[in-house]
Amino acid sequence: MPQKLADLIDGLDFFQDFSYKEIETLSRYLSQTRVDKGEVIFNEGDPGSFMLILIEGRISIYKAGENGTHLLSYEGRGRLIGEMALLDRERRSAQCVADTPCELLTIDHESLDRLSVEFPLLAYRFMFSLARLLSKRLRRTSGMLAEYLTD
């Protein structure tokens, strides 16, 4: 019997402040997909139409530069990827490639808009959690940049 989407995300760090009932509601706005090893999930510059939650597998994030393409990071279970594009609807800032077969959950603009209309408080809490996640990542990146510039 396939696992419920809510069971796949319950316990992930991002969802720790949500009740199981809220996770069940959120899961109705998510889509589940699998990608093969080596599959490009999105390219840098692609229109940003969804965010993904990595449930199983490993993904590499690449950024094009003057001297070629550079590996930025490896991402594993529980990682949210593409959240900036979900919020600002801008083009992708990096490429995302599956290093292994991956199981992903996605939420797109339309689903987020529906969630906002149908469950406004839950949508607010989801967006607030995204803002908090982005804030943490920005602080970490700023710290790394400051360290790089002062060395």
Q: What is the total residue count of the chain?
A: 151
* Least confident piece of the model among 1-10, 67-76, 116-125: 1-10
The radius of gyration of the chain from alpha carbons, rounded to an integer in Å, stands at 16
Q: Which two tokens stand for residue 24?
A: 């069940």
The H or E element containing residue 7 is helix 5-9
Cβ neighbors of 117 (< 8 A, separation 6 or more) are none
Which pTM value belongs to this model?
0.84
Q: Mean pLDDT across the chain, nearest whole number?
A: 91
CB 14 within 8 A of CB 78: yes
Burial 118-151, CB ≥16 within 10 A → b, else e: ebeebbeebeebbeeeeeeeeeeeeeeeeeeeee
Q: Which amino acid is at 127?
A: M
pLDDT for the residue 143: 72
pLDDT at 81: 94
Would you state the pLDDT for residue 50?
94
Please give the torsion angle defined by the CA atoms of residues 141, 146, 147 and 148, in that order, rounded to the nearest 10 degrees: 90
Domains of the chain plus CATH, in order, are 5-150 (2.60.120.10)
